[in-house]
Amino acid sequence: MSITKKISLLSFALLFGGLYAETKFEPIELTNEKIALTDEIVSKISKEHFYQKKNIKELDTQYVSKLLERLDPNKIYFTRAEVSEFEAQNIIDTSFDLSIGYKIINNYFLKLEIATQHQISVIQNGSFDFTGDELIDVFPDDNEWVDDISQLHEKWTAIAKNDLLSLMLSKENVDHQENLIKRYKRRLRSISQRNEEDVYSIAINSITNLFDPHSSYLSPKSAEDFDMQMSLKLEGIGALLGTEDDYPQIVKLIKGGPAEKSGKIEQEDLIISVRQIEEEEPVDVIGWRIDEVVQLIRGPSGSQLELELASKDLLGGEHKFVILEREEVKLEEQAAQSKIITAPIDDREIKLGIINLPAFYVDFNGWRNRDPDFRSSSKDIEKILAEFNEQNVDALLLDLRGNSGGSLYEANRLTGLFVAAGATVQVKESTGYVRPWGDGRAIQAWKKPLAVLVDRYSASASEILAGAIQDYERGIIIGDQTFGKGTVQKLDSLSAGQIKITESKFYRVSGESTQRKGIVPDIFLPTYTSRDDFGEEALETALPWDVIRPIRHKKYGIDEEALEAIKISFNQREAVDPNLTYISSFRKTLEDEQDIKFLSLNIEKRKLEKEAREAKYLGLENARRKSLELEIFESYEDLLEYRKDLDEVIDIQNDLLLNEASKITAEYAIQSQQLKSIYG
């Protein structure tokens, strides 16, 4: 055991009266290989990042605070004095010195291990009273560093008590204390398994992320996983995972994958445990290494597993258990899907074509090998549009909700199907050189009214297409303000691993950047969740929004009178339509819950809160259904069961936002036709 560790352990033992067993985490030392790799990364990102002019010396004052925020966002592991000591040290002299980063990270894992030992001791020796008026602070945004270790001790105890109460509310007929102790012991095991690559990745990415949120170092293992994700062939549940504090987190649901099709799993959900169906006991994965969680979840197609999940915003509330059957998530299952519906508007019926596009995909190998049958989103949609034209479809609604992007080549090709040949986007490089991108040979495949449906999760390539449609005045944009990712990354190899560097920015043909602001729709639909804490603008080091010179482009001329008429119609409907008022009420209810600062540690109060919450959501749904003369649900469980069986991608009845967007698109088609007949 190192001298540094012995001193640290002695200090903690004195502070806590020798309550804890000797820790197993061995502090990781910065090796010469990692020092050389750091020089390589810093040199590369300094020269090739979009903002070359950024003064790298200025990062010195930011590094420690950002690293602490990354490791201990809830301020439950370090004291004010420790933080002050860390912040007094510099990491930049003639080059970046990650020693201070390693020191902070090593101290964090040591603290986490001691905190976990404390929680095990509390659970083993404590007899908790869940009948009093005790509260736990669950709103960390206004937390401050505490003054001494005894205050940390109180926080760790309260967290352990809340963890136990959450288990008691979620699981029956099990030994809750034993289960929680097992969870904590697995966390200890995970801490002891941390290696040099783990510590280095945290330390170096706390530097790369100071340039912008999307520049990062990928270890050799992470690079392998990244390549696998980009191949779009994953045997598992169809979800990308990350971490939130000690919890594995659902970062993204892949369209068409088992997790997304279940209808029960939300982006940002936290994974508590994983159980293979053939085994009785679940495996608690809190505190696990993310690569270990991924390996536990991956498996052969056809096999089943059960996930125990908790909402990120309601971690102290009830958990949900979801059984999934693993599949190979293929390109086919993420391909564009279409449907033709009849939309009645007043005394007219509009034949409306709907296309759902979850990603901008292309089989690059087939394209490079000149395979005439290679698969791509633009080719698939071109076929759908030909079919719509044959079926005399009156208008098109393109659904890009949840589409976080993909191939820039495909974004250009797809835009060309609606606006013909021309630029679709401008790309500005770090040198200042701007070049237009587009499809010079594009032939307009759809000439009738067009609407594009977007949401906060529509990003990158989705924003390129939606922005071009808006700038060309080719159609209307409906939904919510998009994510706002207007940067381009390149992936370069290093002596070990790879680095992803933001090298350029996207700009619309109008000259406006999509960065931070995204695409602002022509007609805003109500949303289920707030946009304030999600999107590029919520990322602290995101590059700024700016404008460059516009480039000449054709304008088809939006029917402003038609657009104004449907805005008036929508505004009137928004105040009284059961679906739209339901969405607004749902959002208000959810926001009220997320603003809660304290949770009760009284079990009866928590049960009543859970029942009240379920009754509230059931009441909202039944009020909507009653207004529409639909069958109401007898219980909250009946509602969950009903939603479980919903797996149709284009579902006009149950997808309330799609339902409203189809009405708006149909109205736009009618108004456009009326104006054409008047002004001919």
Q: Which residues are catalytic?
A: 460, 471, 485
Q: Which is nearest to 214 in space by CA: 464, 488, 439?
A: 488
C-alpha 307/C-alpha 325 separation (Å) is 11
For residue 646, what is the DSSP state? -
Instruction: Give kind and range of the element (H or E) at residue 520.
Output: none
C-alpha 406/C-alpha 428 separation (Å) is 19
Q: Which is nearest to 20 in space by CA: 149, 115, 124?
A: 115
Helix (H, G, I), strand (E, B), or coil: what is residue 549?
A: coil
Helix (H, G, I), strand (E, B), or coil: what is residue 574?
A: helix
Q: Which is nearest to 348 in space by CA: 670, 659, 653, 673?
A: 670
Q: Which is nearest to 451 in space by CA: 350, 301, 310?
A: 350
CB-CB contact of 656 with 579 (8 Å): yes
CB-CB contact of 658 with 651 (8 Å): yes
Letter string b/e over residues 161-187, b meaning 16 or more CB atoms within 10 A of that residue's CB: bbbbbbbbbbbeeeebeebbbbbbebb
Hey, what are 680's tokens? 């001919």
CB-CB contact of 360 with 411 (8 Å): yes
- Residue 159, number of CB atoms within 10 A of its CB: 20
Q: Which is nearest to 243 in space by CA: 261, 269, 278?
A: 269
Q: How far is CA 28 from CA 22, 85, 200, 605, in A?
A: 17, 20, 9, 45
Instruction: Give kind and range of the element (H or E) at residue 182.
Output: helix 176-192
Q: Which is nearest to 519 in space by CA: 573, 462, 565?
A: 462
Q: Which is nearest to 264 in space by CA: 234, 294, 307?
A: 307
Instruction: Give kind and range of the element (H or E) at residue 338.
Output: strand 337-345
C-alpha 524/C-alpha 7 separation (Å) is 59
Let me know if 575 is exposed, middle or buried by CB neighbors in 10 A (0-12, 13-18, 19+). exposed
Between the CA atoms of 402, 408, 413 and 416, what dihedral angle is there, to the nearest 10 degrees? Answer: 80
Helix pair 149-170, 99-125: axis angle to 10 deg? 60
CB-CB contact of 307 with 290 (8 Å): no
Q: Which is nearest to 287 in space by CA: 28, 101, 112?
A: 112
Q: H/E/C letters for each residue in 354-383?
A: EEECCCECECHHHHHCCCCCCCEHHHHHHH
Letter string b/e over residues 562-572, b meaning 16 or more CB atoms within 10 A of that residue's CB: bbebbbebbee
